[in-house]
Amino acid sequence: MQRTNEIKISLKREYDLYSNAMAFYENALKELEQKHQLSTQAFLKRFESGRLGDDADYFDWYGFARLLSRWRKAQSAIHSAIQ
């Protein structure tokens, strides 16, 4: 039983770390949305279809959006494990 408790504590700590990372990416996306007056969802559609240029912001934006998506999926899995 002790190991189970230690595992849950470790997973809770990971969950909190993921929350902090996600807050960073959410903030970065919000700043890019404001700067370019475009939602991330609309940006991704345009970027993936090749309708945008090669601005460095666009590659950061794309990377941040993809990373946030991955962090969310991983955090969801952790959340399920500690329930």
Those residues of the chain that have pLDDT short of 70 are: 1
pLDDT at residue number 81: 87
The reported pTM is 0.84
Per DSSP, the residues of 41-65 read HHHHHHHHTT-S---HHHHHHHHHH
And the tokens for 13? 């700590």
